[in-house]
Amino acid sequence: MRVMSSLTLSLFFSIICCSLTEKLSNTSSPNIIIMLMDDMGWGDLGVLGQPSKETPNLDAMAAQGMLFPNFYTANPLCSPSRAALLTGRLPVRNGFYTTNGHARNAYTPQEIVGGISKDEMLLPQIMKKKGYVSKIVGKWHLGHRPQYLPLKNGFDEWFGAPDCHFGPYNSSIRPNIPVYNNSEMLGRYYEEFKIDRKTGESNLTRMYLLEGVDFIRRQTEAQRPFFLYWAPDATHAPVYASKPFLGKSQRGRYGDAVMELDYSVGHILLWLKRLGIENDTFVFFTSDNGAALMSGPNEGKHYK
């Protein structure tokens, strides 16, 4: 019950890929995928009225699944929203609350040394008791010190970063955000993991897609139920997309990022079909908070 309450608390809309039919009764442990976008607004999808209709995969997913237009995130900011999703508890209880200006862990850049309490029970910890294998791909944002990282909080695997991809920073005074593969730091944003601030080009969404698909394939082959928490951050400022998507949207660079995410969602759903697990897998798609002006085509410069 705690699982469901956390989902209903945090989703402003959700789409269930598989039908709630007799198929589910055939398995006691359906796979669960939560696709959590970063700062993506509800109005960015064709199914919810975006006129350029550049999200065909998500629109199709909505048509085949269920929409929950009255579910809301627990907070309009990354960390408390994510903490609420993963704990099922309101920000004021899970320790991530208020706004940037008065934050206690509510936004976790390098300067904030707090993180998720060890007393909190996260979704992957609950699912582990039922034999699930869990992976987070992308942004964590519940604390960057070693004791707060995903593998210390129930996840079996992680590919991504503890914080936002803000930067580039001066590496000697304020280092760029690290990128991890499990407990191994692979490099840093803007250094080994390129994000071109001028062109908006980055392959990060592509990497996150491949990591997610690889995890799904491995767990399916091993016949283990899995929980994939897929949390790319391409729609968080500074927005980025890979070369095949840059310049393709009618909505500028932000739209390019949305198009690549939509493509990635479609690709993940395709793999569920290829692997024959589309009817044994719940797929939820949502955003951690609503649209941010700073993520727009001009990064908020028209809205001062």
Catalytic site positions = 78, 141
Nearer to Ca ion, 127 or 161 (CB): 161
- Residue 70 CB, shortest distance to Ca ion, in Å, is 20
Element containing residue 137 per DSSP (H, E): strand 133-139
Work out whether 44 is an interface residue with Ca ion (CB under 5 A).
Answer: no
Out of 189, 288, 295, 296, point to the residue binding Ca ion (CB under 5 A).
288
Query: Which residue is listed with tokens 């237009």?
Result: 69
Q: Are 249 and 55 in contact (CB under 8 A)?
A: no
Q: How does 283-301 read in b/e, with b if 16+ C-beta sit within 10 Å?
A: bbbbbbbbbbeebbeebee
Window of 20-28, 117-125, 171-179, 286-294 that interacts with Ca ion by CB under 5 A? 286-294
Phi (first) and psi of residue 178, to 5 degrees: -75, 155
Nearer to Ca ion, 161 or 269 (CB): 161
Work out whether 289 is an interface residue with Ca ion (CB under 5 A).
Answer: yes
Contact track, Ca ion, 68-97, x by CB under 5 A: ----------x-------------------
Nearer to Ca ion, 60 or 294 (CB): 294
Q: How many residues bind to Ca ion according to rule CB under 5 A?
A: 5
Q: Report the alpha-carbon distance of residue 204 to residue 188 in Å, rounded.
A: 12
For 121, residues 6+ apart whose C-beta sits below 8 A from its C-beta are 2, 87
Cα torsion 38, 42, 46, 50 to 10°: value is: -110
Between strands 157-161 and 178-181, the pairing is antiparallel
Quick one: tokens of 121? 């029970």
Quick one: tokens of 118? 């060890």
- Residue 290 CB, shortest distance to Ca ion, in Å, is 9
- Residue 108 CB, shortest distance to Ca ion, in Å, is 12
- Residue 273 CB, shortest distance to Ca ion, in Å, is 30
- Residue 183 CB, shortest distance to Ca ion, in Å, is 25
Nearer to Ca ion, 112 or 121 (CB): 112
Nearer to Ca ion, 164 or 179 (CB): 164
Out of 39, 120, 211, 262, point to the residue binding Ca ion (CB under 5 A).
39
Q: Return the closest-CA partner of residue 135 out of 58, 73, 219, 206.
A: 219
Work out whether 163 is an interface residue with Ca ion (CB under 5 A).
Answer: no
Residues in contact with Ca ion by CB under 5 A are 38-39, 78, 288-289
